[in-house]
Structure 1
Amino acid sequence: MRRILSFLFVVVFFSSFAQAQTDTLSENRPFLERNGLPNFFHKLQKGGPVSIAYFGGSITEAGHGWREQSLNWLQQQYPKANLTHINAAIGGTGSDLGVFRLRQHVLVHKPDLVFVEFAVNDSGQQPEKIHKAMEGIVRQIWRQNRKTDICFVYTLNAPMAPVLLERRMPNSVRAMEQIAHHYGIPSVHMGLEVIRLDRQGKLIWGGKKEDYPDKTVFAPDKTHPYSDTGHRLYTEALSGAMRQIATVGKPGAHAVLKPFVSDNWENAQMIPVQSLVRQGNWQEVTPDNDTVARQLRNRFASLLKSNQPGASLQIRFKGTMAGLYDVIGPGCGQYAVTIDGTPGALYPRFDSFATYYRSHYFFLPTLDEKSHTITLTVSAEPLDKAAILQKRNQTINDPRRYAENAVYAGQLLIIGKLEK
């Protein structure tokens, strides 16, 4: 009996090991079909309208990049289809903001396929946080429509190269693959040809193309690819994978399985800050009446702005998480935060990159599942902006641009429900 049990253990162990090996991305297996994208390809083959959402960071947002190139390739392969796409990518953001903005930026358009690209921007996150956000994205999509197909795609940059050159996957990719495996979602690592060229000494990660005429220059800054080199390699990898994935699976509703993590962010939502209680002087600014709002008109329809120390926004909600989608820039100050009557940390809206205005976001500490009152107050404590900029060898050339210490509020991020 012991021999039989030992034999069965060995069979189960090596069967599980073999399955794990066949369901792992590697240089020899740069994509995994899993359950395929059968609803998407069925609609493509039938012809007619088909929509794709490209959901990610700046690498996906870029013009003339893999987003537009892959869309053009699909249209050439399926000329009878009427392909449209949603550019739902925002530079400098990861899956943690993505799961909150998914409804307004993606689901409202009712796409047939969602490409999800956050591997580079999530590279500094803990796997547990990636699990919560990526699973929340998957479950939100299928809660709206279980026939919407999803594909995880992975890009890369130079800091990720050492791990990939060792034939290992970066932590962000590994965490995302666990979610993809759990739900049967196909995935494509679009950058493995980049690594192969690097290993052969044929690639330069960053620089001017004219300085290296005999090599492939990936990007000017080691992250955001040139359209005809790095983005082209991404598109070639994705198109090769799509040819295989197109043959897998049967159209139908995707199964929404038991969660991979019980505290995933499926219930994340983004709410206009105009619904919050305000105290003090707040001004609603729009692209028509404010230069900062005009610069960020592709991010926010309007913003609340205050430069009055002591002015505040109050959030009353029942839930576990709260944050703010807002602005960082030269004329920004900081928020002082109070949670349930207890003073918390300061949240500066200025950093060493703040020589221009850009959208940004921050989260407060995770809370117990109960009612909370959070107050965001314009802090009177000034920032040493010159010292902060000096960290990147930047200087203040025009003091007037940095004189104001205002805060901007765009969207409230919560997991929970607002209370009156």
Structure 2
Amino acid sequence: MPFSINNFPIYSCNWVSLFFAWIGCVCTVVASQEPGSDVVAAFSRATKGEPLRYVAIGGSITQASSSGWIGDWLDEQFPKSEISVVNSGMSGTGSSLGIFRIDRDIISHAPDLVVIEYCVNDGGLTDEQAILYMETLVVRLKSLPHPPAIVIVEAAARRGVNLQRHRRIARHYGLVEADMQAAVEAHLSEHGEDWNVLFSDDVHPNRAGHALYAETLRNTLRPLLNRARSKDRATATPLVPLPPPLSTKPLLLDARLVPLQAYITPDWKTGAPPSAWWGRFFQGAITAEAPGTALRLPVRGTTFGLFYARDTDNGSFLVNVDDSVPSHVYANTRDGFSYLLAGVDLPAREHMLNVVLPAESEIDPSRNGSVTLGYLLLAGETQATREPSPQGTFTPEVLRDLNLVPVPADAWSWTGPFSLSYPKEQMPIDARADTFTKFAPEPGDANFSLDRFTWKPVSAESNLVDFRTLIGEKKPSFVYARTEFDGGSGGQALLSITVDYYCQLWLNGERIIIFDGPHPRPHFSGPTESRSKRVLH
């Protein structure tokens, strides 16, 4: 049975993942009435000499900041107070992982003041998802017996970021906002400077940029500090019932990280955290390396996932919930860490999470090797029953023997590149803005025909093709690729795609996969019914 793959735009870059979930909740906690009054109360207590515990959480922008931008400043402003500063920034992560980290990386430090910076890394989320996760963070913190003051840092990007989702949360709950986009644009305009004076790329501040962030955050908080020092300062946060949630989905208020080092079997051993700097994000680990090794975890709730280590010497693993179509995760595309949710918004009951190391393969040796798992991501348990879930087709025994046949690179052809024209100063760093632009070889109009274009052969030494190198084009652009292969006769087909950047995939003219964020994990599509003719592009 012939198959074709066409119009497959890809890029080469590093990897990261975002995943989403929710559970039911009833919000009966309280929040501050006037914007910033929670900060005034925290500063008033510190002025009197009470301890001030400060936690900053976010992605790589926060991680690279010195003492969360204002740790030293807080120490200067409150000489009578014992100031503690915790930088919980974690590169390559957004609020979708932050909701699982909140207990370990914020609440455990009993904070009085929390800064949340996820605006840039939440850029790939839908409005619904961004509101769901940020609101979950805010409501959970404001539900504590001693709720901390919260400040939302709206970080900047060269071509701007979507500030409105986080801004809606901040204003709905009376939280202080620090608009870094406005501060950066005002500074560059006033001094006649280029973006690169403050940033090392489109989003990451350099030393001067972090200094501007720190100054902006100080200027945002200084009026609240003056109020705290005034004679009529408040020492307790004015409290009113929380407003109804903005999210259309129930909040994920019991999301947490569950360390896996206690889950020991003859095949999975206790392992040490990675020795590099990112090892601090792990609390122990378990490791396995033999092909076919399986781990079955009975879990209760609605949402389940894994936080795992990445190393170029590692292998890959298959993961699913209740024997559903698996995800195939290559843990060796780079060094560091990543996470995925294998089951989202499932019925609130008992489930089974399966992890299987794939069978040994001579065709794709990169799939075999050691795997290191750090945490189970778990949510929805407080709403779940003990009812067992029905199991599906892809049992661990099936996953052990799952061997997909790769389509060789020299079987592909491509056309392009295609791109839009930008002024030099506005040239994007990648092609994300054009992901949904319909270039000529894309289906969707009556005149579409693959035969209208010149298709060139792909030349590559492996089955992973770097189109940026192939086309010799540094400007952000797209290419379209196609191939044909024999999928066997009858039955169903399980298709797998691995891509490191934005792409869309069509099957017989029907779009079946969209990667509109960078660094997606390898993705299975199917099983799908076989036909006599298949066109994937």
CA distance in 1, matches of 2:131, 2:361: 37
1:228-267 equivalences under 5 Å are 229-246=208-225, 247=227, 250=234, 251-252=236-237, 254=239, 255-261=241-247, 262-267=249-254
The residue type equivalent to 2:98 in the other structure is G
Residue 197 of structure 1: how far off its partner (Å): 3.8
Confirm whether residue 219 of structure 1 aligns to residue 199 of structure 2.
yes
The residue type equivalent to 1:130 in the other structure is A
Residue 203 of structure 1: how far off its partner (Å): 3.0
The residue type equivalent to 2:339 in the other structure is Y
Confirm whether residue 330 of structure 1 aligns to residue 312 of structure 2.
yes
Counterpart of 2:138? 138
Tell whether the 8 Å contact from 1:286 to 1:294 is kept in structure 2 after alignment: no
Give 1:360's match in structure 2, choosing from 338, 362, 374: 338
Tell whether the 8 Å contact from 2:315 to 2:367 is kept in structure 1 after alignment: no
Tell whether the 8 Å contact from 1:147 to 1:253 is kept in structure 2 after alignment: no
Tell whether the 8 Å contact from 1:327 to 1:407 is kept in structure 2 after alignment: yes
1:22-171 equivalences under 5 Å are 33=35, 35-62=37-64, 65=65, 67-158=67-158, 161=159, 163=160, 170-171=161-162
Counterpart of 2:356? 377
1:203-218 equivalences under 5 Å are 203-206=193-196, 217-218=197-198
Give 1:193's match in structure 2, choosing from 180, 183, 197: 183
Counterpart of 2:321? 339
CA distance in 2, matches of 1:259, 1:175: 13
Confirm whether residue 273 of structure 1 aligns to residue 257 of structure 2.
no
The residue type equivalent to 2:185 in the other structure is I
CA distance in 2, matches of 1:315, 1:188: 42
The residue type equivalent to 2:318 in the other structure is A
Higher alpha-carbon deviation: 365-374 or 125-134:
365-374
Q: The residue matched to 2:356 in structure 1 has which SS? A: strand
CA distance in 2, matches of 1:67, 1:150: 17
CA distance in 2, matches of 1:325, 1:382: 25
Counterpart of 1:391? none
Confirm whether residue 408 of structure 1 aligns to residue 372 of structure 2.
yes
Change (3 A) 1:107 1:79: same
TM-score normalised to the size of structure 2? 0.58
- The C-alpha deviation readout for 1:278-326, integer Å capped at 9, x for no partner, is 6552121125xxxx34554311132111111222222322221111111
Change (3 A) 1:68 1:133: closer
The residue type equivalent to 1:42 in the other structure is S
- The C-alpha deviation readout for 1:324-377, integer Å capped at 9, x for no partner, is 1111220222221232133323222233xx1xx212111124122222112111
Residue 151 of structure 1: how far off its partner (Å): 1.0
Q: The residue matched to 2:114 in structure 1 has which SS? A: strand
Residue 140 of structure 1: how far off its partner (Å): 1.9
Structure 2: runs of 5 or more not aligned: 1-33, 389-537
Residue 241 of structure 1: how far off its partner (Å): 0.9
Residue 152 of structure 1: how far off its partner (Å): 0.8
Tell whether the 8 Å contact from 1:320 to 1:416 is kept in structure 2 after alignment: yes
Aligned length: 342
Residue 380 of structure 1: how far off its partner (Å): 2.7
Residue 403 of structure 1: how far off its partner (Å): 9.2
The residue type equivalent to 1:95 in the other structure is S
- The C-alpha deviation readout for 1:130-186, integer Å capped at 9, x for no partner, is 22211111122122234321111121232xx2x4xxxxxx32x21111211221111
Change (3 A) 1:271 1:74: same
- The C-alpha deviation readout for 1:78-113, integer Å capped at 9, x for no partner, is 222221111111111111111101101111110111
Counterpart of 1:285? 271
Residue 234 of structure 1: how far off its partner (Å): 0.7
Q: The residue matched to 1:297 in structure 2 has which SS? A: helix
- The C-alpha deviation readout for 1:380-418, integer Å capped at 9, x for no partner, is 3669989xxxxxxxxxxxxxxx79622111011111239
The residue type equivalent to 1:77 in the other structure is Q
Residue 201 of structure 1: how far off its partner (Å): 7.6
Change (3 A) 1:415 1:96: same
Tell whether the 8 Å contact from 2:292 to 2:356 is kept in structure 1 after alignment: yes
Confirm whether residue 321 of structure 1 aligns to residue 321 of structure 2.
no
CA distance in 1, matches of 2:374, 2:119: 25
CA distance in 1, matches of 2:267, 2:155: 44
TM-score normalised to the size of structure 1? 0.74
The residue type equivalent to 2:127 in the other structure is P
Change (3 A) 1:146 1:253: farther
Give 1:181's match in structure 2, choosing from 159, 171, 181: 171
CA distance in 2, matches of 1:143, 1:33: 17
Query: Which structure has the highest helix share of the two?
Result: 1
Change (3 A) 1:156 1:230: same
CA distance in 2, matches of 1:36, 1:252: 5
Confirm whether residue 312 of structure 1 aligns to residue 299 of structure 2.
no
Tell whether the 8 Å contact from 1:190 to 1:234 is kept in structure 2 after alignment: yes
Tell whether the 8 Å contact from 2:53 to 2:83 is kept in structure 1 after alignment: yes
- The C-alpha deviation readout for 1:177-210, integer Å capped at 9, x for no partner, is 121122111111124221224456833333xxxx
Change (3 A) 1:87 1:412: same
The residue type equivalent to 1:157 in the other structure is A
Residue 270 of structure 1: how far off its partner (Å): 1.0
CA distance in 1, matches of 2:63, 2:105: 13
Tell whether the 8 Å contact from 1:135 to 1:266 is kept in structure 2 after alignment: no
CA distance in 1, matches of 2:337, 2:193: 33
Tell whether the 8 Å contact from 2:296 to 2:353 is kept in structure 1 after alignment: yes
Residue 69 of structure 1: how far off its partner (Å): 4.2
Change (3 A) 1:69 1:138: closer
